[in-house]
Amino acid sequence: MNKVLKKLIPLSRKLADPAQGLAIIGEGNTSAKIGDGTFWVKASGCQLSDIDESGFSRVDGKKILNVLDKKNLTDEDVAKHLKSALVDPAMRKPSVETFLHALCIFECQANWVGHTHPISVMSILCSKQGAKPFQSHIFPDEIVICGLHVAAIPYIDPGLMLANAVQDELHRYLDDHGYPPKLILMGNHGMVALGKNPKDVLDISSMADKWAKTIIGTFTMGGPNYLTKEQADRIETRPDEDYRRKLITKKG
């Protein structure tokens, strides 16, 4: 078995662990860069909770990214492009979110990607607040783990249309901040964690869950007491927090 796939399988199962509350039944998908222009991504119709080697497809990143430039594709056209991007035609059809994963890997330089639908995060993203509560900060660790800024988009039809919208948001984010996001929030849909290693994806996903639960809890006590921009910026640039962040990532 490919060494990357050996790590992707347990990551996927951990994200779907019922105790985590991040993904249930057929929700969510994962991917990982191989290093030769291809990547592993969950196959369509498979469940993360019990996924094995047969539940992943190896696809050509360049072929997937090229589809993003095509217009007026039907669902059938998209399915054909996904199949044609397979390194091995005998593999299962890749997830319709393969385009999203390709963007995270090749435009944001993520090595590992986890897309989940945490109940806590969904409770906010499905509300009239949308991603707005995540645009400010309420405690230090969510800055250390999830980053000072999140990328966010409203609800878009999953698949190619969603990938096009995410690409626009990622370009805006990169232009504004000069580095890629660690967390992407998609209205009425879910979240994406972008990591350097599998532990990064788990840490970002878990911290986003805690962040969302804390936000929801504050609304029962009069509303969030957000940190000021100066306080948040200070946490992001503190040498000790940067040291801690590097140690956490290194352990992955």
Alpha-helix runs per DSSP H in the chain = 3-15, 61-67, 75-84, 98-106, 119-125, 140-146, 160-177, 198-218, 229-237, 239-250
The reported pLDDT for the residue numbered 71 is 82
Query: Nearest-CA neighbor of 11 among 157, 199, 139, 160?
Result: 199
Q: Which amino acid is at 241?
A: E
Find the Cα–Cα–Cα–Cα dihedral 9, 10, 16, 21, rounded to 10°: -150
Query: How much is the pTM?
Result: 0.94
Comparing CA positions, the residue from 134, 131, 143, 101 lying closest to residue 244 is 143
- Domain spans of the chain, in order of start: 3-250
Q: pLDDT at position 25, please?
A: 87
Residue type (1 letter), 54 = S
The residue assigned the tokens 């991007």 is: 85
Cα separation of 159 and 43, whole Å? 14
pLDDT string in tens for the chain (252-residue length): 689 999 999 999 999 999 889 998 888 999 999 999 999 999 998 999 999 999 999 999 999 999 998 888 999 999 999 999 999 999 999 999 999 999 999 999 999 999 999 999 999 999 999 999 999 999 999 999 999 999 999 999 988 999 999 999 999 999 999 999 999 999 999 999 999 999 999 999 999 999 999 999 999 999 999 999 999 999 888 887 776 777 776 666
Q: Is 33:113 a contact under the CB 8 Å cutoff? A: no
Pick the CATH number of 3-250 from 3.40.225.10, 1.10.150.120, 3.40.50.720, 3.30.565.60: 3.40.225.10
Residue that the structure tokens 């503190």 belong to: 238
C-alpha to C-alpha distance for 49 and 54, rounded to whole angstroms: 13
Per-residue pLDDT at 1: 60
Q: What pLDDT is attached to residue 55?
A: 96
